[in-house]
Amino acid sequence: MTRSVFISLCCIVLTIHYSSPLSCGPGEVEDDCVSNCVDDCPVREFQDRDCFAPSICGTPVCKCAFNRRRDINGTCIHTTKCPPFKCNRPNEEYVACPPYCPSDDCKQATPKGKCPVLGRILIVVECIPTCRCIKGYWRKNGVCVPYHDCPKDLLPKLLIG
């Protein structure tokens, strides 16, 4: 009898625990299927890579909302407010929220050395802090070089005619 009462109480406690609503803080949202992605402010480039969604969902948790990151004090702040990390390669700078441009590779530049943006459409782009080439420079073999050093055969054929 005591054993069945104990098991019943355990079932009730577990049901209440898992059915109670999750109370997320400011700038947080409930995530029903948690991935292994970190939502911290990055401290180095490429910290956000290799992030996969699980095949089996676990217990819901609170995570930072879209375009927010967890600050060192544990609160969710806008990604642009994260402290910048150091960019070690020449002619690069930290960009908290890069503009919509496929990459800073020479292959992506227009004939005038600009980003090939096809008009302004209302798309909110995810802010992924990174190191980008400074203005007027594009990446050639991983190194930021002045646009005029980009090989012409790498430029998009459609754009150079």
Q: For residue 1, is it within any domain?
A: no
| 73 and 52 housed in the same domain | yes
Q: For residue 10, is it within any domain?
A: no
**Residue 154 has what pLDDT?**
53
pTM for the whole structure = 0.71
Q: For residue 12, is it within any domain?
A: no
Q: Is the pLDDT of residue 22 over 50?
A: yes
**Domain span holding position 37:** 23-80
**Residue 6 has what pLDDT?**
40
Collapsed DSSP state (helix, strand, coil) of residue 23: coil
* Separation between Cα atoms, residue 100 and residue 115, nearest integer Å: 8
**Residue 145 has what pLDDT?**
96
**Residue matched to tokens 């798309």:** 123
Alpha carbon dihedral 104, 105, 109, 112, in 10-degree steps, equals 80
Collapsed DSSP state (helix, strand, coil) of residue 140: strand
| 150 and 88 housed in the same domain | yes
| 151 and 88 housed in the same domain | yes
